[in-house]
Structure 1
Amino acid sequence: MLVSRHFKLERNQATLDFLDVHIDKDIPIFVDPAALRSLKTEWGHHCVSLLQSYFESVLTAIRNGKHDRAKELLACLNERNEFHIGYSKNKSRGSALGAVSAEKIWESLVKSKAAQTGVVHDLEDTILFVDGVGPDMLSDAVCNIIRGPLIQYTQQACSYYGIPLTAGVDSGPVWNTRDEKWENSLIDLPMTKQGPLILIPKIIARVKQIYGHDEYYRHFLMPVLQQHHKDINSSLVHVLQSKKNKGVKKVYKTDLYDLYGANKLASAKLTGEHPQALTNYRETKNATPSRPLGHSALAELENIPTPNFAGLLNDVTSLKSGQKDAATYENAIEKFLSALLYPALAFPVKQDKIHEGRKRIDITYVNDAKDGFFSWASRNHPASHIFVECKNYGKEVGNPEIDQLAGRFSPSRGKLGILVVRSIDDKALLLKRCKDTANDQRGFILVLDDADLGELIKQRQALMYGYGETLLYQQFKALVS
Structure 2
Amino acid sequence: MLVSKYFKLNRSQATLDFLDIHIDKDIPVFVDPTSLRSLKTEWGHHCVSLLQNYFSCVLSAIRKGDDERAKTLLSCLNERNEFHLGYSKKKSRGHALGPASADEIWKSLSKSKAATTGLLTDLEDAVLFVDGVGPDMLSDAVCNIIRGPLIEYTQNACLYYEIPMEKEVSSGPVWNAHLERWEQSLIELPLARGAPIILIPKVVVRAKQSYNSNEYYRHYLMPVLQKHHKDTNSSLVHVLKGKKNKGEKRVYKTDLYELYGADKLASAKLTVAHPSALTNYRDAKKSTQAPPLDHTALAKLENIPNPDFPALLNEATKLRPGSKDAYLYEDAIEKFISGFLYPSLSFPVKQDGIHDGRKRIDITYVNSAKSGFFEWLSRHYAASHIFVECKNYGKEVGNPEVDQLAGRFSPSRGQVGILIARSVADKNLLLQRCKDTAADGRGFIIFLDDIDLRELIGQRYDVISGDSNHLLYKRFKALIS
- TM-score band by shorter chain is over 0.9
**Local SS of the residue matching 1:123:** coil
The percentage of counterpart residues that share the same residue type is 71
Q: In the alignment, is the contact (CA less than 8 A) between 1:464 and 1:470 conserved in 2?
A: no
Q: Distance in 2 between matches of 1:275 and 1:375?
A: 34
Q: Distance in 1 between matches of 2:462 and 2:34?
A: 29
| Gap change, CA 1:463 and 1:370, over 3 Å in 2 | closer
Aligned to 2:198: 198
**Local SS of the residue matching 1:127:** helix
Matches for 1:15-34 after TM superposition, within 5 Å:
15-34=15-34
Q: Distance in 1 between matches of 2:314 and 2:461?
A: 17
| Gap change, CA 1:461 and 1:468, over 3 Å in 2 | closer
TM-score by length of 2: 0.98
Greater shift after overlay, 430-439 or 17-26? Answer: 430-439
1:60-106 deviation per Cα after TM superposition (whole angstroms, max 9, x unaligned): 00000101110110000000011111111211111111011001111
1:181-211 deviation per Cα after TM superposition (whole angstroms, max 9, x unaligned): 0000000000121400000010011110000
Aligned to 2:273: 273
Q: In the alignment, is the contact (CA less than 8 A) between 1:23 and 1:194 conserved in 2?
A: no
Aligned to 2:231: 231
Aligned to 2:344: 344
Aligned to 1:298: 298
Report the residue type matching 2:420 in the other structure: V
Report the residue type matching 1:267 in the other structure: S
Aligned to 1:429: 429
> Is structure 2 residue 137 aligned with structure 1 residue 137?
yes
Aligned to 2:417: 417
Q: Distance in 2 between matches of 1:435 and 1:422?
A: 20
Report the residue type matching 1:192 in the other structure: A
Q: Deviation at 1:424?
A: 3.0
Q: In the alignment, is the contact (CA less than 8 A) between 2:175 and 2:182 conserved in 1?
A: yes
Aligned to 2:155: 155
Aligned to 1:257: 257
1:128-158 deviation per Cα after TM superposition (whole angstroms, max 9, x unaligned): 0111111110000000000000000000000
Q: Distance in 2 between matches of 1:371 and 1:470?
A: 15
Matches for 1:321-332 after TM superposition, within 5 Å:
321-332=321-332
Report the residue type matching 2:466 in the other structure: G
Greater shift after overlay, 174-183 or 258-267? Answer: 258-267
**Local SS of the residue matching 2:459:** helix
**Local SS of the residue matching 1:409:** coil
Q: Distance in 1 between matches of 2:464 and 2:160?
A: 31
Q: Deviation at 1:439?
A: 1.1
Report the residue type matching 2:14 in the other structure: A
Q: Distance in 2 between matches of 1:237 and 1:309?
A: 60
Q: In the alignment, is the contact (CA less than 8 A) between 2:169 and 2:187 conserved in 1?
A: yes
Aligned to 1:371: 371
**Local SS of the residue matching 2:411:** coil
Report the residue type matching 2:77 in the other structure: L
Q: Deviation at 1:248?
A: 2.0
Q: Distance in 1 between matches of 2:339 and 2:19?
A: 13
Greater shift after overlay, 304-313 or 366-375? Answer: 304-313
Q: Distance in 1 between matches of 2:155 and 2:436?
A: 41
Q: Distance in 2 between matches of 1:459 and 1:52?
A: 40
Report the residue type matching 2:130 in the other structure: V
Aligned to 1:77: 77
Q: In the alignment, is the contact (CA less than 8 A) between 1:54 and 1:145 conserved in 2?
A: yes
Q: Distance in 2 between matches of 1:322 and 1:162?
A: 25
Aligned to 1:241: 241
TM-score by length of 1: 0.98
Report the residue type matching 1:215 in the other structure: E
Unaligned runs of 5+ in 2: none
Q: Distance in 2 between matches of 1:335 and 1:463?
A: 18
Q: Deviation at 1:461?
A: 5.9
Q: Distance in 2 between matches of 1:448 and 1:250?
A: 63
Q: Deviation at 1:463?
A: 8.1
**Local SS of the residue matching 1:330:** helix
Q: In the alignment, is the contact (CA less than 8 A) between 1:26 and 1:85 conserved in 2?
A: yes
Q: Distance in 2 between matches of 1:145 and 1:31?
A: 12
Q: Deviation at 1:242?
A: 2.9
Q: In the alignment, is the contact (CA less than 8 A) between 2:462 and 2:470 conserved in 1?
A: no
Aligned to 1:41: 41
Aligned pair count reads 481
Q: Distance in 2 between matches of 1:166 and 1:244?
A: 74
> Is structure 2 residue 479 aligned with structure 1 residue 479?
yes
Q: In the alignment, is the contact (CA less than 8 A) between 1:376 and 1:467 conserved in 2?
A: no
**Local SS of the residue matching 2:458:** helix
Q: In the alignment, is the contact (CA less than 8 A) between 2:34 and 2:289 conserved in 1?
A: yes
**Local SS of the residue matching 2:179:** coil
**Local SS of the residue matching 2:124:** helix
Q: Deviation at 1:162?
A: 0.3
Taking only aligned residues, the RMSD between alpha carbons, in angstroms, comes to 1.1
**Local SS of the residue matching 1:335:** helix
1:264-304 deviation per Cα after TM superposition (whole angstroms, max 9, x unaligned): 11111100110000001001101111210000111111111
Q: In the alignment, is the contact (CA less than 8 A) between 2:392 and 2:422 conserved in 1?
A: yes
Q: Deviation at 1:247?
A: 2.2
Q: Distance in 2 between matches of 1:234 and 1:461?
A: 53
Report the residue type matching 2:385 in the other structure: H
Q: Distance in 2 between matches of 1:441 and 1:231?
A: 60
Q: Deviation at 1:241?
A: 2.5
> Is structure 2 residue 395 aligned with structure 1 residue 395?
yes
Report the residue type matching 1:151 in the other structure: I
Aligned to 1:214: 214
Aligned to 2:92: 92
Q: Distance in 2 between matches of 1:113 and 1:72?
A: 21
Aligned to 1:289: 289
> Is structure 2 residue 127 aligned with structure 1 residue 127?
yes
Q: Distance in 1 between matches of 2:24 and 2:352?
A: 34
| Gap change, CA 1:464 and 1:389, over 3 Å in 2 | closer
Aligned to 2:117: 117
Report the residue type matching 1:227 in the other structure: K
| Gap change, CA 1:100 and 1:281, over 3 Å in 2 | same
Q: Distance in 2 between matches of 1:232 and 1:396?
A: 79
Q: In the alignment, is the contact (CA less than 8 A) between 2:462 and 2:469 conserved in 1?
A: no
Q: Distance in 2 between matches of 1:142 and 1:277?
A: 25
Q: In the alignment, is the contact (CA less than 8 A) between 1:30 and 1:86 conserved in 2?
A: yes
